[in-house]
């Protein structure tokens, strides 16, 4: 049953995440921030080590409500990751940037749902 719930959550999240992001996050970001656009462009053309050095210093900022209103940044607005944000730059956004970078550099990129579930909660270990 829990595996079915996880699959449903993955489907729901992939379907509604762009809408949730637009409603709760887009208006609050500097969507025209030229420094963020420049950082994004530099990130996308850098090699893996350079990209890593650009992402590692960026502060983690949980989504609204300590992650309750969770959404990934859409690829069209990925540059907003580098803007000065109050919230909304969590693990899924870091994963999204790595997947976009990987695709641009001919890697097979995937995003995975990883839970911090205790033993037996979602998967048998």
Whether 111 is covered by a domain: the verdict is: no
Q: How confident is the model at residue 124 (pLDDT cuts 50, 70, 90)?
A: very low
User: Tell me, what's the pLDDT at 69?
Assistant: 74
Residues 6 or more apart in contact with residue 101 via CB below 8 angstroms: 43, 44, 51, 109
Whether 27 is covered by a domain: the verdict is: yes
Whether 110 is covered by a domain: the verdict is: no
User: Tell me, what's the pLDDT at 46?
Assistant: 97
Whether 82 is covered by a domain: the verdict is: yes
Whether 22 is covered by a domain: the verdict is: yes
Nearest to 17 by CA among 64, 67, 74, 62: 74
pTM: 0.77
Whether 109 is covered by a domain: the verdict is: no
Domain residues for 54?
2-104
Whether 121 is covered by a domain: the verdict is: no
- Kindly report the length of the chain: 125
Q: What percent of the chain has pLDDT over 70?
A: 84
Number of domains in the chain: 1
């Amino acid at each position: 049953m829990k595996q079915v719930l996880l699959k449903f959550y993955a489907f729901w999240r992939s379907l509604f995440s762009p809408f949730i992001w637009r409603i709760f996050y887009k208006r609050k970001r500097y969507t025209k921030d030229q420094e963020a656009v420049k950082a994004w462009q530099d990130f996308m053309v850098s090699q893996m080590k350079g990209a890593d050095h650009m992402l590692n210093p960026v502060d983690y900022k949980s989504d609204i409500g300590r992650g309750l209103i969770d959404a990934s940044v859409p690829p069209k607005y990925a540059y907003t990751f580098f803007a000065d944000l109050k919230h909304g730059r969590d693990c899924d956004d870091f994963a999204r940037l790595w997947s976009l970078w990987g695709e641009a550099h001919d890697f097979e990129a995937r995003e995975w749902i990883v839970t911090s579930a205790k033993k037996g909660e979602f998967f048998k270990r």
